[in-house]
Structure 1
Amino acid sequence: MTLDPPVEPMLAQAVESVPGPGVLGELAFEQKFGGYRALLFTPTAPDGKLLLQTRRGSLIQDRFPDLVAAADKLPAGLVLDGELVVWDTKAGRLSFEGLQHRSAARGRSARGLAASLPAFFIAFDILQQDGHELTGYPYRQRRLRLEALFAGHRLATPWTVCPMTTDLIKAQQWLESWTDISGVEGIVVKAMNQPYRPGHRGWYKLRRRNTTEAIIGAITGILIRPQLLLLGRRDAEGHLRPIGRTAPLRAEMARLVGGNVTAADTGHPWEGRRFASAWGSRDTLEVTLVHPELVAEISADTALDRGGVFRHPVRFKRLRLDVTVEEVPLFSVDPS
């Protein structure tokens, strides 16, 4: 049997440190890129076309005509798992904002954007080859097949293999140095003997995190027991700009913030603004605006959305009652 879309991808769970080899056996470490997860299917029939499937099962190959045009370099009956990224030719870097533009464009617009925002597919797994399903094979064998595929077919741009190492020291160096590069978020840890289990969170991901400060501009929950903090920073003109929100507060942290935060008067800079409940969601949060006078110390990863907003919830570490809002770093497209 061959794999046909939609195929549920295997997933990773966030961790704070590398799991010990005694738990998983020999480990592999891959660089984690901040793009869109995608599965790639090459046709088995001569008149077929390349298919690109999102993590949620949607087909989006019409938005990436440059990848479709390059599909003749790929063999038939192939299924790859990987990450879609976009290169901003003007800025000279990977661009998540550019990827968002590409994923929303179709037709002539999609073809036009392909020139200035070319797409790349970073493959990190092979699920099918020559029409033969490989999901039951251990990662070690799948990785060897993936590398042999790229070498044997001399695959190049826009197809590339995700960097991988079994050296923990090298992986730690990636985490500390490569995450300074725009588009690289951290590492993914996999067991060498693992089969590919669709929908199962059997991998682990570590993101580099930076400690910084932000202003508390709003909360969810009630004033004495906030659940989430909505954070901002002032721009060069003094306007308070949203930069993200925290993960749910632990009970002791909620009591601490609740004992210091106060409801805002009229004229708050965020009056009338709506806040999404999650990245990419249309659902909104019910928030209470507060006096933007408290400073929070936060821990955040390096993934940024367009406009300098943290893509993932940040972690609240403590209140900085010794720091004024004037001492908080100014808003920029790189809030870290």
Structure 2
Amino acid sequence: MWMLPEPMLAEPVADPALPEGWAAEVKWDGWRALASWDAGRLVLRSRRGADLAPGFPELRSGAVQLPDATALDGEVVVWESGRLAFERLQGRLQRRGTGAARLAEQWPAHYVAFDLLRLEGTDTTVWPYRRRRAALEHLFAEHRLTAPWALCPSTTDPDTVREWLTSWTAVGVEGVVYKGLESTYQPVRAWKKYKARHTEDAIVGAFTGSPAAPRTLLLGRYDTDGHLRYIGRSTTLPQASGRAVADFLTPAKDHPWTGWTFSAGWGSRESLHVTLVVPELVVEVGVDVARDGAGRWRHPARWHRMRPELTPADTPRFEPGPTG
């Protein structure tokens, strides 16, 4: 009996240049999932092996478009207000039956296929990428696949890669993944991925760790009504930077975040122990394009430097995410 392979993984790279002999694909802000359609049954497995199918009835019903004994690698995504909405995927694993059906109707998911693992009973993982890609494109064309199925763009044109990294990030695309044209599909970290990042300024509202050398910073921005809104947390500060930042932080007796709790990570139930400070220090951090439904940075922001020459009024206003 044919079994889904372990997913092929990508190694982060700092250079966005497209290597010669490689193709680039869009890196989506969603859930990685391997899909297999066999004898009228859809297997939808997460990267860590979780069964996703019960939470996505729209993908199960749409699987009838696929030829039998076919398997794909791809990303489950949800669009909202013209932007990828990762937070709409949260909770789908716990939903079943009518609950899952209601979410599927409200925020339908799509499966963006970027690789072909099996085609009508033939194991294609031993094929080179260029052959798998051609067969994947032919599969979509021959069977006229429509929603919830979508074909991930692929290119060998550096100008197209640059366009993706400058224009497509506005809708939540995270970056690009590079795949060797002659590479087979193996459970190793042989692909490359580049995440689009940029620097932004934010206000320090609290910190974790020692007052003498804060470990991470909790960051905020003021909204148009003058309320300090939490926007995200920094990565762990280098020790020297933590000691330097400490000199600019003043414990707050009265703070807009008094009584708030902050989670240890996006989607985590663990709470952080934080020290609130007077929101006056501005810092520069590196962020990617991933946002939650409230407009906050979903991934920790990389520490760059302090900006003591700036005031909170010099930072951008908080922009909330789409409501719904």
TM-score using structure 1 length: 0.88
For 1:262, the aligned partner's letter is: T
- What residue is the counterpart of 2:266 in the other structure? 279
> Is the deviation greater in 109-118 or in 156-165?
109-118
For 1:28, the aligned partner's letter is: A
For 1:94, the aligned partner's letter is: L
Q: Structure 1 residues 264 and 12, CA, compared in 2 at 3 Å: closer, same or farther?
A: farther
- What residue is the counterpart of 1:33 in the other structure? 28
Check the 8 A contact 1:214/1:233 in 2, yes or no.
Answer: yes
Cα displacement (A) at 1:216: 0.7
Q: Structure 1 residues 204 and 272, CA, compared in 2 at 3 Å: closer, same or farther?
A: farther
- What residue is the counterpart of 2:190 in the other structure? 202
For 2:213, the aligned partner's letter is: R
Tell me the distance in 1 between the aligned counterparts of 2:138 and 2:210: 57
Cα displacement (A) at 1:26: 0.8
Tell me the distance in 2 between the aligned counterparts of 1:259 and 1:239: 25
Q: Structure 1 residues 280 and 327, CA, compared in 2 at 3 Å: closer, same or farther?
A: same
- What residue is the counterpart of 2:221 in the other structure? 233
SS of 1:42's partner is strand
For 2:305, the aligned partner's letter is: R
Residues 287-322 of structure 1: per-residue CA shift (max 9 Å, x gap)? 222222111112211110121111111122221111
- What residue is the counterpart of 1:143 in the other structure? 133
For 1:283, the aligned partner's letter is: E
Q: Structure 1 residues 281 and 197, CA, compared in 2 at 3 Å: closer, same or farther?
A: farther
- What residue is the counterpart of 2:233 in the other structure? 245
Cα displacement (A) at 1:140: 1.9
Percent identity reads 47
Tell me the distance in 1 between the aligned counterparts of 2:195 and 2:124: 29
Tell me the distance in 2 between the aligned counterparts of 1:242 and 1:288: 14
- What residue is the counterpart of 1:185 in the other structure? 174
For 2:184, the aligned partner's letter is: P
Cα displacement (A) at 1:334: 5.4
Check the 8 A contact 2:18/2:178 in 1, yes or no.
Answer: no
Equivalent positions of 1:93-242 (< 5 A) are 93-100=83-90, 102-180=92-170, 182-198=171-187, 200-242=188-230
SS of 1:112's partner is helix
**1:300 alignment partner, one of 287, 291, 300:** 287
Tell me the distance in 2 between the aligned counterparts of 1:284 and 1:12: 31
- What residue is the counterpart of 2:41 in the other structure? 49
Gaps of 5+ in 2: none
Check the 8 A contact 2:29/2:173 in 1, yes or no.
Answer: yes
- What residue is the counterpart of 1:9 in the other structure? 7
Cα displacement (A) at 1:30: 0.4
Residues 64-89 of structure 1: per-residue CA shift (max 9 Å, x gap)? 2111111111011112110111233x
Q: Structure 1 residues 272 and 15, CA, compared in 2 at 3 Å: closer, same or farther?
A: farther
Tell me the distance in 2 between the aligned counterparts of 1:228 and 1:13: 25
Check the 8 A contact 1:188/1:206 in 2, yes or no.
Answer: yes
For 2:33, the aligned partner's letter is: A
Cα displacement (A) at 1:92: 4.4
Residues 241-266 of structure 1: per-residue CA shift (max 9 Å, x gap)? 2111112222342232123223333x
TM-score using structure 2 length: 0.91
For 1:136, the aligned partner's letter is: V
Q: Structure 1 residues 63 and 20, CA, compared in 2 at 3 Å: closer, same or farther?
A: closer
Residues 172-191 of structure 1: per-residue CA shift (max 9 Å, x gap)? 121111112x2322111122
Q: What is the RMSD of the two structures over their aligned residues, measured on CA atoms?
A: 2.2
Tell me the distance in 2 between the aligned counterparts of 1:283 and 1:135: 40
**1:85 alignment partner, one of 49, 64, 77:** 77
Q: Structure 1 residues 103 and 234, CA, compared in 2 at 3 Å: closer, same or farther?
A: farther
Tell me the distance in 1 between the aligned counterparts of 2:321 and 2:15: 25
SS of 1:256's partner is helix
> Is the deviation greater in 135-144 or in 169-178?
135-144
- What residue is the counterpart of 2:51 in the other structure? 59
Check the 8 A contact 2:85/2:292 in 1, yes or no.
Answer: no
Cα displacement (A) at 1:104: 4.7
